[in-house]
Amino acid sequence: MNAHPTGDTAASNLQAGARVALFGMIVNLVFAAAKILGGLVGNAYVLIADGIESALDIAGSLIIWGGLKFAARPPDETHPYGHGKAEPIAAVVVAVGVLAAALGLAIESVREIRTPHHGPAPFTLGILIVVIVVKEILFRYVNRVARNVESTAVQTDAWHHRSDALTSAAAFIGITAALIGGRGWESADDWAALFACCVIAANGVRLLRPALYEIMDTAPRGEIVDRVRNAAAAVPGVIEIEKCFVRKMGLSFYVDLHVRVDGSISVREGHDLAHRVKDIIRGADSRIADVLVHIEPAR
pLDDT in tens, 151-190: 777 777 787 788 778 778 877 887 788 778 767 676 777 7
Give the least confident one: 3-17, 53-67, 85-99.
3-17
Residue 111 CB neighbour total at 10 angstroms: 11
Phi/psi for 246 (5° steps) reads -125, 135
Give the least confident one: 80-89, 152-161, 210-219, 284-293.
152-161
How do 238-249 and 252-261 pair as beta strands?
A: antiparallel
With cut-offs at 50, 70 and 90, classify the pLDDT of residue 54. confident
Give the least confident one: 6-15, 72-81, 93-102.
6-15
With cut-offs at 50, 70 and 90, classify the pLDDT of residue 291. very high
With cut-offs at 50, 70 and 90, classify the pLDDT of residue 9. low
Out of 3.40.640.10, 3.40.50.180, 1.10.10.10, 3.30.70.1350, the CATH code matching 224-297 is: 3.30.70.1350
Q: Are 72 and 11 in contact (CB under 8 A)?
A: yes
Burial class (CB in 10 A: 0-12, 13-18, 19+), 42: buried
Q: Give domain 8-215's CATH superfamily.
A: Cation efflux protein transmembrane domain (1.20.1510.10)
Residue among 4, 64, 1 nearest 28 (CA): 64
Residue among 68, 39, 71, 41 nearest 54 (CA): 39
What is the domain partition of the chain in residue ranges?
A: 8-215, 224-297
Q: Are 55 and 36 in contact (CB under 8 A)?
A: yes
pLDDT in tens, 83-116: 888 888 888 888 888 888 788 878 877 877 777 6
To the nearest whole number, what is the mean pLDDT of the chain? 81
- Residue ranges of alpha helices (H) inside the chain are 8-42, 45-71, 86-113, 124-149, 152-181, 188-215, 224-233, 267-284
Q: Are 150 and 85 in contact (CB under 8 A)?
A: no
Residue 138 pLDDT exceeds 80: yes
